[in-house]
Amino acid sequence: MNLPDNPERTVVGRLAPSPTGGLHLGHARTFLIAWLAARQAGGRMILRIEDLDASRVRPGAREGAVADLRWLGFDWDHGPDGGGPAGPYVQSERTSFYDRALDQLKAGEWVYPCTCTRAEVARAASAPHADEEGPVYPGTCASRRAADALALTGRPFAWRSRTPAETIVWNDLFQGRIEVSPDRLGGDFIVARHAVGHAYQLAVVVDDHAMGVTQVIRGLDLIPSTPRQILLYRRLGWSVPDFGHVPLAVDGEGRRLAKRSESLKLETLRAAGADPRGLIGLLAQSCGWSSVLEPSRPGDWIGRVGPGAIPGEPWVVPHDLMTRLII
């Protein structure tokens, strides 16, 4: 892992589960890396529940996530269960913070109201896109100004962030130098939907800034989000945190783990009597911190994790996982 540019800055990391289903082994591995990166630097840890997408939130998932993290031995300094100076620590309770940031973006003409539907964007795209980012937005509504939203009474619209034709560069904690041109990766992106709610890209920037987060460690699949978030940090006049992206966990067929993978959910392992110390040891071994499986708690690895990189390839979850972990 590369050291941050300002080693004197107090490190503040965060764990930010979404209550849209049970946490799985991939989440646990990334959380372990993020937790250790902060704790080993003598830093603080924030727990935040990211529940903006109300349609996907599942009953009991929030409580289940906290229980899973406690079971594995993680702790945090501030969060929804204990409060803190930058609360609330649940996104659905932070609407006013996002409103103020959106107003600031409107004032700078960094956003504009867009009435295009997903189908219209897809039809207008110059070429089909099969990836998760979808087609590049063609700029149909980009000539509008923020004040034009006043004339759209009764019409659904979204607020899109203007994306310049420039390359965003950052020194990733795990991947090294990364260069991405967000205008070619979806183009102008949505930060809010009028009368519906705010989007992930805006909310996490607002929350990380408000909570003093200096270090964001997450999966490689979120690299496309980083240049967009860096743009928002700059436009809002805020310091950009250090970003680190780690390889994902995959099953035996190379498929990314999903919350629907019941057998690999932490809740399932916990209910089956799995040893959390064995699981932490397995995750540490997968990160290259030990050549053998050492039953342990997260704190046992403080001071033992060097600055070397996490293995660059995805972690393939062992097929005999349950045999290894059941007491």
Extents of the domains making up the chain: 12-93+204-325, 95-201
Return the structure tokens found at 247: 């390889």
pLDDT digits (tens, 9 = 90+) for 174-228: 999 999 999 988 999 999 999 899 999 999 999 999 999 999 999 999 999 999 9
From the list 151, 161, 141, the residue with the least C-alpha distance to 201 is: 161
pLDDT digits (tens, 9 = 90+) for 29-87: 999 999 999 999 999 999 999 999 888 899 999 999 999 999 999 999 999 999 999 99
Q: Which of the four CATH numbers 3.40.50.620, 3.30.70.920, 3.30.300.30, 1.10.150.20 does domain 12-93+204-325 have?
A: 3.40.50.620
Active site residues: 259
Cis status of the peptide bond prior to 182, with omega within 30 of 0: no
Token pair 């892992």: residue: 1
Fold topology of 95-201: Glutamyl-tRNA Synthetase; domain 3 (3.90.800)
Burial class (CB in 10 A: 0-12, 13-18, 19+), 185: buried
